[in-house]
Amino acid sequence: MFRLIDSDNYGLDDYARNKSDNRFKVFGKGAVTIKPDAAELVIGVITENSQLEIAQEENANKTQQVINSILRMGLLAKYIQTENYNIRSNYDYIDGKQVFRDYEVSNNLKILIRNIDLAGEIIDTAVKNGANNVSGINFIVSDQSTYYYEALRLAVTDAQNKANVMADKLKVKLDIIPIQINEQERGIIAPLGAMTFKNINVTTPIEVGENKIIADIEAVFKYSEQWFRRYKLKKHLQMFDKYLTFGGAFMAVDSFV
């Protein structure tokens, strides 16, 4: 009977243990670029007076005037929301002493604009009717989920492509289906529009640009090492060792690899 001398001493337990450890982690990124279809902006009214009641009254009147002017443009009331209302005291420093100057009242309105083409006109109308503070404009995509799901698909493909490159370099067999996927924090890059505020008869120019919706994932892949093929060959040789004979002679096989 044959006697197989295996200098590498591979066993099923060794294979099972190593196979479970044969994995690596990659990161995948997907991005979808889309033109925004809505905008959010914050318009504020700031008034100052040495008497608090007068500052509050002036602010309330101007704020209501701003709201009415925007409503006349066709914007729905449900898209106008008070973001914050604040009262503070202002002081001057004269000869090293703090001297009361006046009260400052501010009222900021968050406005959702569904017709993005009206953004510049709405800003100008608000300014003409008493608004004196615009903190920024944020362009958004209404149906973000649809585009984010597409970005997720691209992120998975990116991770698989990276895993294929790594497996090819390492000369191992890759299981292309990840055993684990972790979704990272959703990211949306929204460029700010360019705004210019002047008391002229020209609409404030608004450059919408494009939003980039990004998805990031972490994926874990399993792979099989080449040495397992050697292990399977040796198991076959052990079977031959049991059942094959040549003229009653025993043969020692040092290595078949």
* Mean pLDDT score, 74-93: 94
Domain ranges of the chain: 1-22+225-257, 24-35+144-221, 38-140
- Judge whether residue 186 has pLDDT over 50: yes
Residues 6+ apart with CB under 8 A from 107: 44, 45, 59, 60, 63, 82, 84, 85, 86
Compare 128 and 249 and report the one with higher pLDDT. 128
Q: Is the pLDDT of residue 70 over 60?
A: yes
Task: With cut-offs at 50, 70 and 90, classify the pLDDT of residue 122.
Answer: very high
Kindly state the average pLDDT of the residues 199-210: 64
What integer pLDDT is reported at residue 88 of this predicted model? 95
Residue listed under structure tokens 């001493």: 9
* CATH class of the domain whose range is 38-140: alpha beta
Mean pLDDT, the chain, as a whole number? 81
Query: Hey, which bits of the chain come out as E strands?
Result: 3-4, 23-34, 38-49, 80-94, 97-113, 133-140, 173-183, 187-189, 211-224, 252-253
The proportion of the chain whose per-residue pLDDT surpasses 90, expressed as a percent, equals 56
- Of 144 and 253, the structure prediction assigns the larger pLDDT to 144
Between 257 and 28, residue with greater pLDDT: 28
pLDDT digits (tens, 9 = 90+) for 218-250: 999 999 876 555 555 555 556 555 555 444 444
Closest to 143 in 3D by CA, of 188, 111, 183, 80: 188
| Fold match between domain 24-35+144-221 and domain 38-140 | no
Edge-to-edge strands, sheet with 97-113: 80-94, 97-113, 38-49, 133-140
Name the H helices within 116-226: 119-128, 144-170
- Find all residues with CB under 8 Å of 33, minimum gap 6, and list them: 210, 211, 212, 213
Residue in this structure with the two tokens 């009331």, named with its chain if needed: 77
CATH of domain 24-35+144-221: 3.30.110.170
Q: 204, exposed or middle or buried, with CB in 10 Å at 0-12, 13-18, 19+?
A: buried
